[in-house]
Amino acid sequence: ASIFFAFMLFSALLAGCAQQQAQGSELVIYTYDSMVSEYGLGPKVIPKFEAKCNCKVKMVAKGDAGQVLNSVILEKSSPKADLVIGIDNSMAAGAIEKGVLGKFTPSNISIVPRELLFDSEGYITPYDYGYFAFIYDSNKIKSGLDSFDSMLDSRLEKKIAIQNPRTSSPGLGLLLWSVAVYGDPGYREFWKKFRPNVLTVTAGWDESAGLFGSGEVPIYLSYTTSPPYYVQFEDKQNYLAASFKEGHYAQIEGIAIVKGAKNRRLAEEFIEFSLTEDFQNEIPLNQFMFPVNQGVKLPDSYIYAPKPVKQLQLEPKLVKDKQEEWILEWEKIMKSG
């Protein structure tokens, strides 16, 4: 009996240590600015996860998604983050090649529809998706924006804000979208004609959205799912997404473990949590993207989020191989004005 008692005491001590360890551990997540903002997804889902794991989560904003990945690459030899949120289908092949991510397949991965699983190597787990689109103020822009050609109208001169493909995932998305529509080298001609209509190229999405919100530009690059935000929170039904007959480029966002993460077990738990309805239910009205969990009911405001007639994608490997060349060409064209 005394041996049994000693064993039980020892087990209790071990459990106590484990619990203290869990309480003292802090999951560090690198992500983009809008995720951690007051109205972002982070503040809604992090407390739920902290209660579930009996741990602390520290979300660190690093700018736009491109800047998030750059931060992880810079810290490769001594990683400070456990998880990275926001690596999308366009950045995936490059991120994997840099060797900064750790492989992990969550046990509940079957929640994600097969067509959204963009990483066949098992590093990145999708959590939401959307489609790039130009958002416009229909009180100011009367002529129909229904194609890439319509964006070349001289009446739109200096009326559009876009993002830099080197630092921003929507910025890169627009460049890839133009390649998907016009091919290579055809996309260059589009950009030469489009350039006069661009007022500014911002480093990240937030700045472009701010210029649009303050009325400094009547058009900016965002997502088909952005109008529900303006309907839901600003009661504005005049901010619309232009539906292009050529189709829209899809963005699928994912979460990945940082290679060498100090809190790998917690990181794995968080990825599994990200696919549950506790997390996914918060996506439509906080992230303003479509949740990957098809069990989530979309709010009424999503009738303002047009479904593309055609979904466009480029092969991830092609993007990895050609992305730098396309960005350099884009920079040359944009600087020549």
Per residue in 180-220, pLDDT (tens digit) is 999 999 999 999 999 999 999 999 888 999 999 999 999 99
- For tokens 């070349």, name the residue: 152
Q: What is the structure's pLDDT at 11? A: 52
pLDDT at 195: 98
Q: Rounded CA gap, 229 and 236, in Å?
A: 9
- DSSP 8-state secondary structure symbol assigned to residue 299: P
Rg (CA), the chain: 22
pLDDT for the residue 169: 83
Q: What pTM was computed for the model?
A: 0.85
Strands (E), the chain: 26-31, 56-61, 83-88, 101-102, 124-137, 160-163, 198-202, 219-223, 239-241, 248-258, 290-291, 311-312
Look at residue 204 in the predicted model and tell me its pLDDT.
87
Q: Do the beta carbons of residue 23 and residue 257 sit within 8 Å?
A: no
Residue 67 pLDDT: 85
| Amino acid at the residue 285 | L
* Gap between the Cα atoms of 323 and 315, Å rounded: 11
Please, are residues 75 and 81 in contact by the beta-carbon 8 Å criterion? yes
Peptide bond into 185 cis (omega under 30): yes
The answer to whether residue 34 scores a pLDDT higher than 90 is no
Position with higher pLDDT, 290 vs 170: 290
Percent of the chain with pLDDT over 90: 81
Could you give the percent of the chain with pLDDT greater than 70? Answer: 93
Q: Which residue has the tokens 């529900």?
A: 228
pLDDT tops 50 at residue 329 = yes
Tell how strand 248-258 and strand 124-137 pair up.
antiparallel
Query: Contact at 8 Å (CB) between 82 and 52?
Result: no
Helices 169-182, 65-74: inter-axial angle, 10-degree rounding: 110
123 compared with 9, residue with greater pLDDT: 123
The mean per-residue pLDDT over the stretch 329-333 comes to 98
pLDDT, greater one: 67 or 289: 289
Are 312 and 177 in contact by the 8 Å Cβ rule? The answer is yes
Q: In whole angstroms, what is the distance from residue 296 CA to residue 125 CA?
A: 18
Segment 67-95, tens digit of pLDDT: 899 999 999 999 999 999 999 998 898 89
What pLDDT sits at residue 17? 40
Q: Fill in the amino acid letter for 55.
A: C
What value does the mean pLDDT of the chain take?
A: 92
Cα atoms in the Cβ-side hemisphere of radius 13 Å centred on 112: 26
Query: Which structure tokens are listed for 54?
Result: 């009996």
